Structure 1
Amino acid sequence: YAHEAKAVLGQIRVDSKTNEHKAALELLGILPVTGKIVVGDALFCQRDLAEQIVDSGGDYIFTVKDNQSGLGTDIRAGFGFEAAARQIAAATSP
Structure 2
Amino acid sequence: MHLTALSLITMVIFSIWQTSLKAFLISLMISKSSLTKRENDILKRILSGMKNKEITKELFISSKTVGTHRSNIHSKLHVRTITELYFKLKSDSLIR
- Normalization by structure 2: what TM-score? 0.24
- Relative to its length, the structure with more helix (as a share) is 2
Bigger Rg over Cα: 1
> When you count strand as a share of all residues, which structure comes out higher?
1
> Whose RCO is larger (CA < 8 A, sep 6+)?
2
**Structure 1-normalised TM-score?**
0.25
